[in-house]
Structure 1
Amino acid sequence: MLTHRKADERGHADHGWLNSYHTFSFAGYVDPNERGFSDLLVINDDRVEAGKGFGTHPHRDMEIFSWVLNGELEHQDTLGNGAVIRPGDLQLMSAGTGVAHSEYNPSSRNGVHFLQVWITPNRIGQPPRYQQEYFSPEKRRGRLQLILSPEGEAPALAIRQDVRVYAGLFDGSEQATLTLAPHRYAYVHVARGRITLNGLALGEGDGVRVREEQVLSLENGHNAEVLVFDLRPNELPGM
């Protein structure tokens, strides 16, 4: 069963320097029907103006990853990590017992467009940690590249939850199929472009809850970038 959530059904917040769309309830956007899915709690589609960003703020007991679609995002945290991430860079921060970080657009001229995703961990009170890996377009072109998994088998990063995340780029005749284990859920997010999932046409910003399906087929992409989350069969996030 596929449950389609269209891009224009998401929550929206325009702060001037930040234009953000919320797939699930976040901050001032509260929808009792959209409180996450399985262990997936947040997908924020953020555009930040040049020279602006999020000042230092704390997190704990959350798996948080950032995925840049266009531009650059500068990260600093209280663990001593600092990096500028660009398209293809996956940054994963496991907040654990507590970490504070800031995220800024270091450009003086260009905006940055990125996704920030929160996933609830399977264990709380763990030491915080930071990981980063680059996934070239060639690794993602016409296929679903594993970028996050519990085991962290290279080049995927290790996440503290029974979730696997795949990233793919599709255009023209490129297509890919993902077979889920029995009774698994999935969530498909179209970061940009257009694509078809099991015959369902999707546009940029659309998302799909997947239940009772074992095979996911992606095809007919038009400059499409897609994230696929292989999830436990839970309806709502919980620790």
Structure 2
Amino acid sequence: MEKIIYKAESRGHANHGWLDTHHTFSFASYYDPNRIHFGALRVLNDDKITSGTGFPKHPHDNMEIISIPLKGDLAHEDSMGNNATIKQGDVQVMSGGTGIMHSEFNPNKDIGTEFLQIWVFPNKENIEPRYGQVHYPVADRKNSFQMVVSPKDSGLDTWIQQDAWFHLADFEKDFDKTYELKKKDNGLFVFLLEGEIEIGGEKLEKRDGIGLLNLEEVNIKANANSEMLLMEVPMDW
């Protein structure tokens, strides 16, 4: 098993006033030639948006985009006619395909919004754009891997155009569980949202990440109550 460690403090960072953002991979003004992507995982942004502000309408194409609110709400509008608000426990996916326009903003007057925005390269370009949004109960990820993103035929409405699987997990202190990869030759990227875990012989703390390659399974142990996102993606697509 090969390992690539991404410490929280090594991420790219920009504070625009209305937006405070950390980039695990090269994005916008942050560029590190050794951190362009992990397989098909292209962007992992950890965003905080102040109340009443957000991203104006902007384009995307040929990218699978996943948004996961961690705190507060995120209002969304797009050129496909979708107008929705995603909240903690929700997962939103968009296939940019041939091209879409969308905006995202914090609709609250006194509460900041925190969310993850993730981009995954698709395995097929120029598809028809699509939108999906599902609420996944937080209780269902306690000491368990809760699948929240999958390929098209895996049964979820939050599917993307890629052989990728995302799971959220909340582990109690001293709990451990083994994750088994769903597709041979995929890699696994684990992003620790809260707590402390041991994985692959490494210790991860809040907002650390680890990329794992050449493995079939890996055990994860929580040294404290911990919340994490697991992203299994193709390394060659």
Q: How does 1:1-239 map to 2 (within 5 A)?
A: 1-155=2-156, 157-180=158-181, 181-234=183-236
Distance, in Å, in 2 between the alignment partners of 1:151 and 1:96 is 14
Distance, in Å, in 1 between the alignment partners of 2:40 and 2:132 is 20
| CA-atom RMSD in angstroms | 1.5
Tell me the alpha carbon deviations over residues 166-190 of structure 1, each in whole angstroms, 9 at most, x when there is no partner: 1111121333211124433111111
Distance, in Å, in 2 between the alignment partners of 1:138 and 1:153 is 22
Q: Number of matched residues?
A: 235
Distance, in Å, in 2 between the alignment partners of 1:142 and 1:156 is 23
Tell me the alpha carbon deviations over residues 88-114 of structure 1, each in whole angstroms, 9 at most, x when there is no partner: 100001111111111101110010110
**Alignment check: 8 A CA contact 1:3 1:208 kept:** yes
| CA displacement at 1:218 relative to structure 2 | 1.6
Distance, in Å, in 2 between the alignment partners of 1:24 and 1:57 is 21
What code does the residue aligned with 2:173 have? G
Distance, in Å, in 1 between the alignment partners of 2:157 and 2:169 is 14
TM-score between the two structures when normalised by the length of structure 1 = 0.93
**Alignment check: 8 A CA contact 2:141 2:168 kept:** yes
**Alignment check: 8 A CA contact 1:152 1:159 kept:** no
| CA displacement at 1:213 relative to structure 2 | 2.3
Task: Say which is worse superposed, 25-34 or 134-143, in terms of deviation.
Answer: 134-143
Q: Give unmatched runs, 5+ long, in structure 2.
A: none
What code does the residue aligned with 2:226 have? A
| CA displacement at 1:221 relative to structure 2 | 4.8
Distance, in Å, in 2 between the alignment partners of 1:49 and 1:60 is 27
Tell me the alpha carbon deviations over residues 133-169 of structure 1, each in whole angstroms, 9 at most, x when there is no partner: 1111121111111111113433462210111111111
**Alignment check: 8 A CA contact 1:146 1:156 kept:** no
Runs of 4+ in 1 over 6 A off after TM superposition: none
Please give the secondary structure, in 2, of the residue aligned with 1:79.
coil
Distance, in Å, in 2 between the alignment partners of 1:17 and 1:36 is 26
Matched-pair identity in %: 38
Tell me the alpha carbon deviations over residues 52-109 of structure 1, each in whole angstroms, 9 at most, x when there is no partner: 1001111111100100111111111111111111111000011111111111011100
TM-score between the two structures when normalised by the length of structure 2 = 0.94
Distance, in Å, in 2 between the alignment partners of 1:228 and 1:220 is 14
